[in-house]
Structure 1
Amino acid sequence: MQIFAKLPDGGTEPPSWALVELQGDLESRSATSLAGQLIGDLHFTRQGAPVLIVGHHILWGKVTALEKPLLVMRKRDDLTPAAAESDAMETDAEPESRYHVQAIVRNKILFKSRPKPIIANVPKKI
């Protein structure tokens, strides 16, 4: 089966995204799902190394290129079902699904080391 992908109108290069990969499990204190929740802050050092701060922990990572880029696509839904049926009747063929490319994922940010606790330097009272 072939899937035809098309750049959005204008033919400009879609934005580049990166994939974030964490080794291990990410658990919440409550039993709620983490979907759609803020997990942490992603920063980059001046040398380009990624740093992820999750709560009171810090993770150091690295950026690597993917062997094969991934496409983020959205199914084209500008045709109404009635128009698609009439179009199929005229050509005696199945209507084709079309997808627009939203972004290209070329890099991944890999955090494979254990998180280190962030300890504040609090002066002692004398």
Structure 2
Amino acid sequence: MKIQVQCGCGESSCPEWAVVELQGVVQPQASFAGDIRGLHIGRLCSAPSPSSSSKAGYTFTVGYHELAGTKVTLKKPLLVLRKTKTNAGCGEQEPPEVELEVIGIIRHKILFKDRPKALISKPPTKEKKTLQPAAK
């Protein structure tokens, strides 16, 4: 079987992607059975890193938990590919040819290796309402 790899964007203008690496499991609620495409998991923000000025810092907020992470360069870049089958195969005996289209390149990962920090420390207190005297 012949597999062709095509890149229509050129090496210098390929869209940059990143990998988010978490320690643990992100589980959706039971109401999301099956397809989780388009599911809002949390909020990823770039933040200045207090420990080192050379590494970019990131925060990832999921529900009431906040994770702190850093941007790490991969030793070898990864390609993001889209697989398409062409109709170049003649007849039923030859399998169709497969083309792989490059749609992005991954050069960095955002690594969250520490335990999450809880954002809620104690429940909010209820204010007591004071009775106002009736006006005459």
- TM-score where L is the length of structure 1: 0.72
- Distance verdict in 2 for CA 1:2–1:115, change over 3 Å: farther
Highest RCO, 1 vs 2 (Cα 8 Å, sep ≥ 6): 1
Structure with greater helix percent:
1
**In the aligned structure 1, how far is the partner of 2:125 from the partner of 2:32?**
37
- Distance verdict in 2 for CA 1:21–1:119, change over 3 Å: same
Question: Max radius of gyration: which structure?
Answer: 2
Per-residue deviation, 1:7: 1.2
Please give the per-residue CA displacement for 1:73-104, whole angstroms capped at 9, x wherever unaligned. Answer: 11245x5x3xx24xx58xxx876422221000
Per-residue deviation, 1:31: 5.6
Unaligned runs of 5+ in 2: 50-55, 129-136
Counterpart of 1:70 in structure 2 is: 78
Q: Aligned-pair RMSD on alpha carbons?
A: 3.1
Counterpart of 1:38 in structure 2 is: 40
Unaligned runs of 5+ in 1: none
1:80-99 equivalences under 5 Å are 81=87, 84-85=88-89, 88=90, 96-99=97-100
Q: Percent identity?
A: 37
Counterpart of 1:17 in structure 2 is: 17
**In the aligned structure 2, how far is the partner of 1:29 from the partner of 1:95?**
40
**In the aligned structure 2, how far is the partner of 1:43 from the partner of 1:65?**
18
Per-residue deviation, 1:5: 1.7
